[in-house]
Chains A and B, each alone.
Chain A
Amino acid sequence: MLNYKNRNMSYEDIHFSKEELSRYDRHIIIPDFGFEAQKKLKASKVLVIGSGGLGSPALLYLAAAGVGTIGIVDFDVVDDSNLQRQVLFGVDEIGKPKVEAAKKRLESLNPYIDIKIYNQQLTSQNALEIIREYDVVADGTDNFPTRYLVNDACVLLGKPNVYASIFQFEGQVSVFNYINREGELGPNYRDLYPTPPPPGLVPSCAEGGVLGVLPGIIGSLQALEVIKVITGVGETLSGRFFIFDALNFEPRTFKIKRNPANPVNGENPTIKQLIDYELFCGVKAVEKPIKEITAKELYDLQVRGEDIQVIDVREPHEYEIANIGGELIPLATVSANADKIDRSKKVIVHCKMGGRSAKAVRELEEKFGFTNLYNLKGGILGWIDEVQPELTKY
């Protein structure tokens, strides 16, 4: 339950207009929810980090439910590949900042609430300042550095963090850093996962995909837990870890506990302020730089008729959508096909965005000693932007 005593305004002082009472009637008539819970919602401030797959349903339901102040952090713009699951947005918003599109949509849904937007990336520099203003955080970001950043900031500030995460057909939900009615503090993300996977071992949704309806389910559960944290109604998922497998419809709930070795709030904390999370997650790991080529430079090579080889390390179904005539050797098979790669001329390696091809170049350089490989910067998407806009973007 939230402690309302330290707040400027007590939830008891909250009043509703006639229109609001009518709007929230179906909440107010629930015996175990009622007017009290509705007042707590209006008095509360919730920060939703990420307004994408999870943030879309979570924001829609939190706004509809009457959370008085909702903050949204996102630095991205709406892309047509978002619309398969990010139900906050429509075709008219493509190219616009997500936070602005979200604010417009939510204000049209509920004009009686206050929406604050942060069109920026959450960083170690701004996280405490932004999160400090809120009572509850809902984390729906898409990368490990931000997951640990949000977690640590919430622990340092004493804010409950409603966590949700998805991948392909699988979703996870929990409530971290929550103080229950007995005054006991529950576990946080670092108790569950002390360290992140090394980069590249676990693919992101951008690489591995996600079934569009899954964030709808999991983001709605996230909104549910936020409402329970605010109102104190029911039992939150604090100390429990819920996972949902959409393929076999098998929900499982596990017990989780605080770990005395937790570096942020265990017995001997070593992290007392926010750290460099990209470094912590190995994203900034010192990797040998690889040679790069821009789409424009590649185009110039082709125009000059230079003898080059182009290798496409994407999957066959991606190749079918759009290709630039490269030889298809999916990332997982590059080592097995190393003999197909020419050593006597420039070899351009590309994928969709440049991540997988960088990995392929490193693998080939390390295992087989190639010195003539160039990674196409920005992948085929960069090529489409700069050279061949008629190709299908995906």
Chain B
Amino acid sequence: MATIIIPTPLRKFTNNTARLNIQAGNVKGVVEELTLNFPDLKKHLLDDQGNIRSFVNVFVGDEDIRNLQQENTPIKEETVISIVPAIAGGLA
């Protein structure tokens, strides 16, 4: 099963779980499975049309899925998927 790493800001929607194992054929399948199990994640990951939001980056291994096959990027057993949303902290 592929491993998916949940970033700190979204862990409150995954019962504070940082790593999840998900069985899916591609990134779209991973996101579907993820939002099915953790419904509160949905509005943070997907827009109203069901596309991955533009301030959320998904990396398969060290590659941005925008430079692969977007949501159709295939997933293998050993694949590590990282979700990395924009954060803006620094000064405050």
Q: Measuring CB to CB, which residues of chain A are less than 8 angstroms from any residue of chain B?
A: 50-55, 74, 76, 139-144, 147, 164-170, 172, 192-197, 201-206, 208, 210, 215, 241, 243, 245, 247-248, 250, 252-257, 259
Q: Is the CB of A204 within 8 A of B88?
A: yes
CA distance A166 to B92 in the complex (A): 10
- Contact with B87, one of A52, A167, A254 (Cβ below 8 angstroms): A167
Contact of B88 among A74, A147, A194, A252 (CB under 8 A): A147
B91-A257 in contact (CB<8A): no
| Distance of A164 Cα from B89 Cα, bound (Å) | 9
Chain A residues, CB < 8 A from B44: 201
Q: Interface extent on B, as a size class?
A: 20 to 34
A164 touching B90, Cβ below 8 Å: yes
Stretch with Cβ within 8 A of A (4 or more), from B21-29, B59-67, B69-77: B59-67
- Whether B63 lies near A170 (C-beta < 8 A) is no
Q: Please state if A197 and B90 are interface contacts (CB–CB under 8 Å).
A: no
The answer to whether A203 touches B90 (Cβ under 8 A) is: no
> Are B91 and A50 in touch, CB under 8 angstroms?
yes
How far does the alpha carbon of A384 sit from the alpha carbon of B89 in the complex, in Å? 26
Inter-chain CA distance A167–B87, complex, in Å, is: 6
B9 adjacent to chain A (CB < 8 Å): yes
Known: A142-B88, A167-B8. A193 touches B54 (CB 8 A): yes
Are A53 and B90 in contact (CB-based, < 8 A)? Answer: yes
Q: Is the CB–CB distance between B55 and A170 below 8 Å? A: no
Chain B residue nearest in CB terms to A49: B91
Check B91 against A53 for contact (C-beta < 8 Å).
yes
B7 to chain A, nearest CB (A): 6
CB pair B86–A140 under 8 Å, yes or no, is no
Of A192, A202, A215, which one neighbours B90 at CB under 8 angstroms?
Answer: A215
Q: A254–B9 contact, CB under 8 A?
A: no
A53 touches B89 (CB 8 A): yes
Chain B, range 9-49, C-beta contacts under 8 Å to A: 9, 18, 43-44
A195: chain B residues at CB < 8 Å are: 54-55
A253/B9 in contact, CB under 8 A:
no
Whether the Cβ atoms of A194 and B91 lie closer than 8 Å is: no
Q: Are A165 and B84 in contact (CB under 8 A)?
A: no
Whether A143 and B88, one on each chain, are in contact in the complex, defined by CB atoms closer than 8 angstroms, is yes
Residue of B nearest to A219 (CB): B90
| Contact flag A141-B90 (CB < 8 Å), given A193-B57, A255-B67 | yes
Q: CA A165 – CA B66 in complex, angstroms? A: 22
Bound complex: CA A141 to CA B86 (Å): 13
Partner among B8, B54, B64, B85 whose Cβ is within 8 Å of the Cβ of A256: B64
Rounded to whole angstroms, the CA-CA distance of A144 and B86 in the bound complex is: 9
Note all chain A residues with C-beta closer than 8 A to B55: 193-197, 202
Whether A192 contacts B57 by the Cβ 8 Å rule is: yes
Max chain B C-beta neighbours (<10 A), residue from A144, A168, A197, A206: A197
Whether A165 touches B85, Cβ cut-off 8 Å, given contacts A193-B55, A245-B8, A247-B8, is: no
B64 touches A255 (CB 8 A): yes
Q: Give Cα A253–Cα B61 distance, bound, in whole angstroms.
A: 9
Q: A170-B7, A201-B44 are in contact. Are A254 and B89 (CB under 8 A)?
A: no
